[in-house]
């Protein structure tokens, strides 16, 4: 019982409950059906990105290219479907192939050149955003079909946002991979002690590359969802998502030192960020303050993470 009550996921969920109560008291519309639809959809979109980057964080890496990859994923799919007149499924597959190539590129630099993920993904952050501008000439790609828009705007049974359904599928697959497969156990081992894991015969390079591929694919998936939500491929989509996703991971119990964390924790951390952002909107707080608040939350989460690590030593 003590372990459950002191778990990061439980503590963060308690904060979410408190925020819910505050929001409901200050503005009853906060718990209205329409706002809850918006809240769950936005949280699901953030959670998908956070789950992806969580794989790299578990290996003691990082992916700073998330925002640009989100923008590139949406723009590429819109380009394939609208400009090249390809079927939507084919456009999505081609976008994922590009995402896999980028993830492999990140992983190879990290494993073969021993470059930290911070550096190589920082390069991709700029290059991908530049590629978006080249593809779009700085203007949104409009005219996406209704089937595309459904991915971001649709509802299952008229009440459950489609992004929430996609998030649940992604979360279940990620949880199964990390908790019930030998590959998942090896990913945790890589983050815990890479050299010892390598000496034990594990193909460390393959595991690290896989994690960077998953991170980029999840970001591209969110880019596709965002493009459907906006009904266009916007060159500015995804800006700032890397800060939100990494904050959600750290809040959910993942350590920047690697080797620990869970998908459930990432979901709870994403829920906290989603509730906090939605509540600030409902309370008419100046949008210029939003990133400051998220930055302070990230600082607190990192401080807590480092304090917990020092106690464990």
Q: In this predicted structure, what is the pLDDT of residue 6? A: 64
Residues in contact with 276: Cβ distance below 8 Å, sequence separation at least 6, in sequence order: 19, 293, 294, 297
Check: CB of residue 153 under 8 Å from CB of residue 228. Answer: yes
Residue 103 confidence (pLDDT): 96
Q: What is the pLDDT of residue 299?
A: 84
Half-sphere exposure of 178 (CA within 13 A, CB side): 26
Which residue matches tokens 């400051």?
292
The pair phi, psi for residue 157, each rounded to 5°, is 60, 20
Q: For residues 258 and 39, what is the distance between their CA atoms, to the nearest angstrom?
A: 30
Which among 245, 298, 235 is positioned nearest to 270, based on CA atoms? 245
Beta bridge partners of 233: 141
The set of residues, in sequence order, having a beta carbon less than 8 Å from that of 119 and lying 6+ positions away, is none
The model's pTM is 0.92
What pLDDT does residue 256 have? Answer: 83
Q: Where are the alpha helices (DSSP H) in the chain?
A: 2-6, 8-26, 33-58, 66-78, 88-112, 117-136, 146-153, 162-180, 182-192, 194-199, 204-230, 241-251, 263-282, 290-312
How far apart are alpha carbons 255 and 304 in whole angstroms? 10
pLDDT (tens, 9 = 90+) of the chain, 313 residues, equals: 776 666 667 778 888 888 888 888 888 888 888 889 999 999 999 999 999 999 999 999 999 999 999 999 999 999 999 999 999 999 999 999 999 999 999 999 999 998 888 899 999 999 999 999 999 998 999 888 888 889 988 888 888 999 999 999 999 999 999 999 999 999 999 998 888 989 888 899 999 999 999 999 999 999 999 999 998 989 988 888 898 999 899 888 888 888 888 999 999 999 999 998 888 888 888 888 888 888 888 888 778 767 766 666 5
- pLDDT given at position 226: 94
pLDDT at 28: 84
Which residues contact residue 256 at a Cβ distance below 8 angstroms, ignoring those fewer than 6 apart?
57, 60, 62, 250, 302, 305
């Amino acid at each position: 019982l003590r372990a459950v009550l002191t778990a990061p996921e439980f503590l963060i969920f308690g904060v979410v409950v408190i925020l819910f109560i505050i929001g409901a008291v200050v503005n009853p519309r906060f718990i209205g059906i329409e706002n809850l639809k918006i809240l769950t959809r936005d949280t699901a979109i953030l959670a998908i990105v956070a789950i992806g980057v969580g794989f790299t964080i578990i290996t003691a890496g990082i992916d700073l290219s998330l925002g640009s990859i989100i923008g590139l994923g949406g723009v590429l799919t819109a380009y394939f479907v609208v400009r090249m007149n390809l079927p939507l499924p084919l456009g999505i597959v081609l976008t994922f192939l590009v995402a896999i190539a980028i993830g492999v590129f990140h992983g190879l630099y990290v494993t073969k050149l021993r470059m930290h993920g911070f550096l190589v993904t920082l390069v991709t952050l700029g290059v991908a955003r530049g590629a978006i501008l080249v593809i779009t000439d700085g203007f949104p790609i409009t005219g996406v079909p209704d089937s595309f828009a459904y991915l971001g705007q649709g509802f299952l049974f008229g009440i459950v946002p489609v992004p929430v359904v996609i998030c649940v599928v992604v979360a279940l697959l990620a949880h199964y991979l990390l908790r019930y497969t030998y590959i998942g156990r090896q990913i945790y081992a890589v983050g815990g002690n890479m050299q010892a894991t390598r000496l034990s015969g594990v193909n460390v390079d393959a595991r690290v590359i896989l994690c960077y591929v998953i991170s980029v694919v999840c970001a591209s998936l969110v880019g596709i969802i965002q493009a459907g939500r906006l009904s266009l491929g916007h060159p500015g989509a995804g800006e700032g998502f890397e800060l939100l996703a990494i904050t959600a991971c750290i809040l959910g119990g993942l350590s920047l030192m690697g080797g620990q964390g869970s998908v459930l924790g990432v979901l709870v951390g994403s829920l906290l960020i989603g509730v906090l952002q939605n509540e600030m909107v409902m309370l008419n707080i100046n949008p210029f303050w939003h990133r400051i608040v998220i930055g302070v939350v990230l600082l607190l989460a990192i401080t807590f993470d480092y304090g917990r690590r020092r106690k464990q030593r």
